[in-house]
Amino acid sequence: MSSVELEQRITVAEAWAAADIDPAGRHATRSLIARAREGQESAITELIDAFSGRLAFGTAGLRGKIGPGPRRMNRVVVSQTSAGFAAFLTELTERSGALHMDPPSVVIGYDGRTGSAVFARDTAEVMAGAGVRVYLLPEPGPTPLTAFAVRHLQVSAGVMITASHNPPADNGYKVFLGGADQGAQVAPPVDAEIAAHIERAASGAPVMLPRSRDYVMLGGGVADAYVAETASAVLRGLPADPKRPGRALGDDTDLKVVYTAMHGVGSEIARRVFLSSGLPTVTVVAEQDAPDPTFPSLEFPNPEEPGALDLAFRTAGDLDADLVVANDPDADRVAIAVKAPPRATPAVTRGYRQRPRNVANQYRRLTGNELGLLLGWRAAERETAAARIGARAPQGTLACTNVSSPALRAVAEAYGLDYVETLSGFKWVSRVPRLLFGFEEAIGYLTHPGHVRDKDGISAGADAIAMVRELRAEGRTVWDLLDDASELFGHFASSQITLRFASMTEATELSARVRELRPTEFGDIRVERVRDLLTPGEAPVPANVLRYDLEGGSRVMMRPSGTEPKLKVYLDTFSDVGDAAERRTAAEAALARLESAVRGTIDGLRL
């Protein structure tokens, strides 16, 4: 960048600082300008990026690094976004003809990340100043609580200040809609309408946005209702003990459970749900139980990341626990881990990948697809039992995103249920008609769509605990249940390649190079069909997803992440020949060959 172009960016940054409503933000911008003028390369790079364009509002709302500038999360961007969203809600209410009766309304929640509480208050004040009736949740809480509150309070919309499992430097602004949307995330074309209103709101000076403190600070009633309704849904779904009429299977079985909130906001409300559901008292990972925006014990606050569960495994090893349950920081996702199959048992030959045994890895985390299969199967069983009692046929839909394992299709077919694959994101999964259960491979599960229309790591965690308890009552393990699934539905093996980049642009560019290459094979595996979801008609809305259906039933899916600078590649193989062990071995071997071939193709494009 030339000195003239740099000065132009500095001029923009100076104007931003002059209009910033946040004293800390003004100081941060001016400090960045000073360092850039001194020639610090890192400051120049940051200034150029932060003041080139605007943080885009999409179907995940906003999510980005905290800092000064229109391409960062800060009080100005949050205030402008809130003004635009308020204008959209007002227009929506006017179109419905209801404005003369009631103004639009919104409930606002926030997590424990840096800036979340301040951003939530800014959102409340700006939206109240725009004439929206505002309810603010009283303390940091999980994302599923805000999604629940939209339906519980019967408001027009919800806002959740969170960056979920993103790195500590990030924050975000997530939007739900009420009414017919029932608290689901926004989806196209509504996201574009909201974005247009935000652009108009951002054209004026932030200080001119009207603000009001005339909003309702809620008490604990919403959380109490969430706990009661979630526990009730879990209890209704528990299978009966055939030997003890009126009792749930396994409710008298001892089970040692370790729980981690990963420095997030899930612990208190999750433990309340578990207790109200009659589940075992959990032992928390003390170092990670309280919200801490610095996430000191984690490199990435995501249960899927290598090493993220090491503290939980250490606690479980000390306790000799049966199960580890981990919510991500805003508790909309859940992961579970159980004791790994011992080397001396036949389970070792079934394709389970194990590291050398030590205290930390006596436990193995189930993949998102494995838990999705088991919870989806559980939902099918639950519906079958309800249908039997009601003297009717099972009905409803199992759904997952198109990059998740196709195993759920086999479950739906076996139980006479409908099956739907959606685009990535719970904005699509939650909108599937007659939904019984939905999941995404990134450890997101919707087990009880009757009261929350978004992924909910707390209710899914409760169902997982109940499932493991029932297995223990029968003298069985999760590994036994997965073998049962392989016998019934065939064995589906899945893996994922995640490539990290310095920017979202780099991930998108690599995806474009693969699209241009049009590979006809991966290694020695021939591509039978290519689907490019950017092609009109291939998806409900164009999506940057490439799908390769391969000979032998294998599949490769590729897409840039919508929230982080990553390219994600999803691999699936299948076998239904032989017994469970033989099916597992064949599918895992095919998966290893496919992963090696795909990595080779991608590495060639990155050179």
User: Based on the number of CB atoms within 10 Å of its own CB, is 440 exposed (0-12), middle (13-18) or buried (19 or more)?
Assistant: buried
Give the pLDDT confidence score for residue 354 in this predicted structure. 41
pLDDT at 376 over 90: yes
Least confident residue range of 20-34, 223-237, 333-347, 452-466: 333-347
How sure is the predictor about 359, in pLDDT bands with cuts at 50, 70 and 90?
low
pLDDT at 351 over 70: no
pLDDT at 40 over 60: yes
Q: Render the burial of 85-113: b for 16+ CB within 10 Å, e for the rest.
A: bbbbbbebbeeeeeeeeebbbbbbbbbbb
pLDDT at 365 over 80: yes
Question: Out of 164, 277, 459, 495, which one is annotated catalytic?
Answer: 164
Task: Assign residue 553 a region (left: φ > 0; alpha: ψ between -120 and 50; beta: otherwise).
Answer: left
pLDDT at 355 over 80: no
> For the residues of 411-435, what is the DSSP string, one character each?
HHHHHT-EEEEE-SSHHHHTTSTTE
Write the pLDDT tens digit of every residue in 279-327.
Answer: 999 999 999 999 999 999 999 999 999 999 999 999 999 999 999 999 9
Within 10 A of 417 (CB to CB), how many other CB atoms are there? 23
pLDDT at 346 over 80: no
pLDDT at 349 over 50: no
- Structural domains of the chain, ranges and CATH numbers in brackets: 1-52 (no CATH), 55-218 (3.40.120.10), 220-238+253-489 (3.40.120.10), 490-606 (3.30.310.50)
Give the pLDDT confidence score for residue 606 in this predicted structure. 75
3 is catalytic: no
Q: Which two tokens stand for residue 312?
A: 């939980």
Q: How far apart are CA 50 and CA 541, in angstroms?
A: 29
User: Based on the number of CB atoms within 10 Å of its own CB, is 1 exposed (0-12), middle (13-18) or buried (19 or more)?
Assistant: exposed
Global confidence as pTM: 0.93
Q: Please give the span between the terminal C-alpha atoms of the chain, in angstroms, as a whole number.
A: 25
The partner residues of 216 in beta bridges, in order of sequence, read 135
Q: Could you tell me if 532 and 515 are in contact, meaning their C-beta atoms sit under 8 angstroms apart?
A: yes
Q: Could you tell me if 84 and 186 are in contact, meaning their C-beta atoms sit under 8 angstroms apart?
A: no
Q: What number is the average pLDDT over the span 381-385?
A: 96
The CA dihedral of 249, 252, 258, 263, to the nearest 10 degrees, is: 80
Q: What number is the average pLDDT over the span 369-382?
A: 98
pLDDT at 352 over 50: no
How sure is the predictor about 342, in pLDDT bands with cuts at 50, 70 and 90?
low
Q: What number is the average pLDDT over the span 141-150?
A: 98
Q: Could you tell me if 17 and 33 are in contact, meaning their C-beta atoms sit under 8 angstroms apart?
A: yes
Q: What number is the average pLDDT over the span 352-373?
A: 74
